[in-house]
Amino acid sequence: MCNESASQQLYRKRLRHRARFIQIARWGILILLLLLWELLARLGVIDAFLLSSPSRMFTTIADLIRTGELWLHLGTTLWETVVGFVIGSVLGIVMAIALWWSNTLARILDPYLVVLNALPKIALGPVLIVWIGAGMPAIIAMTLLISVIVTMVTVLGGFLSVEEEKLTLLRSFGASKLQCFTMVVFPAALPTTVSALKLGIGMSWVGVIVGEFLVSRAGLGYLIVYGGQVFKLDLVMAGTAVLCLFAALMYLMIAACEKRLNQRRAHP
């Protein structure tokens, strides 16, 4: 028993060391790439005007913070992303429930969903602008086009992956379809639903940036497009860096919720 306990402690210690090594390696690669990028720019190996450099990029971000422009553009993009993500997630989950509930409806809509999923959503950008107008509603609509189908298909796959034997057992005891869904299907598909939210947050960022590329007066997408139009590549790289940072933070928030959910499921 004592030997087993020591083995378990050694195993946990190795896991902690491995996790620490992974974190150090991740940050080390990022820092190394930034240092290499800066060095090549200073030595003239790469054109700093075209490819910028970390120092120029950070200076641009500091200037945007000082003038207050960063908060305007970042706030606009974050608001559009959160609104699009919440609405898209709710719509996607509701649609997945409806398709699971009615197999006939799922079979009728299947070809249309396949087409919508394969359709390049950016092709509908000009149409959305004409229908909805130039502004935030068109950007959110573009976000929904990109995120809803992905969320719905992923969640529906989780619902359909539940073993039929479990549902048959519940039905044999007289359970209704609603009881089958609330007691077995949705709890079993909860990890898949959270994974769909992780995909959805990424798709929401894509939709918002694509929308801001097409029609926007503010936002990180607008900042990036404007920087490219006036050949301020430092502005382009600064906007891209801020975009990557906050997209990663929102993704990590969903991942943290997923980890907490898995812990609660493992230790109810």
Query: What is the full per-residue pLDDT of the chain (268 aa) written as tens digits?
Result: 445 567 777 777 788 888 888 889 988 998 999 899 889 888 888 877 777 888 888 888 888 888 888 888 888 888 988 998 899 889 989 998 998 888 888 888 888 888 877 777 777 777 777 777 777 888 888 888 888 888 888 888 888 887 777 778 777 777 787 887 888 888 888 888 888 888 888 888 888 888 888 777 778 888 888 888 878 888 888 888 888 888 888 888 888 877 777 777 665 5
pTM, rounded to two decimals: 0.78
What is the per-residue pLDDT for 87?
A: 92
What is the per-residue pLDDT for 267?
A: 59
What is the per-residue pLDDT for 245?
A: 87
- Rounded to whole angstroms, the Cα distance separating 70 from 215 reads 19
What is the per-residue pLDDT for 2?
A: 47
Instruction: State how far the alpha carbon of 260 is from the alpha carbons of 12, 90, 147, 186, 229, in Å.
Output: 19, 21, 24, 18, 44
Among 260, 224, 254, smallest CA distance to 242 is for: 224
Among 27, 156, 147, 180, smallest CA distance to 103 is for: 156
Helix segments in the chain, DSSP class H: 2-42, 48-51, 54-67, 69-101, 103-118, 125-132, 136-160, 164-172, 177-180, 186-188, 190-214, 220-229, 233-266
- Rounded to whole angstroms, the Cα distance separating 242 from 73 reads 10
- Rounded to whole angstroms, the Cα distance separating 160 from 207 reads 27
**Three-point CA angle 66, 72, 73, nearest 5°:** 105
* Domain residue spans of the chain: 1-46, 55-266
What is the per-residue pLDDT for 110?
A: 82
CATH code for the structural domain at 55-266: 1.10.3720.10
CB atoms within 10 A of CB 213: 18
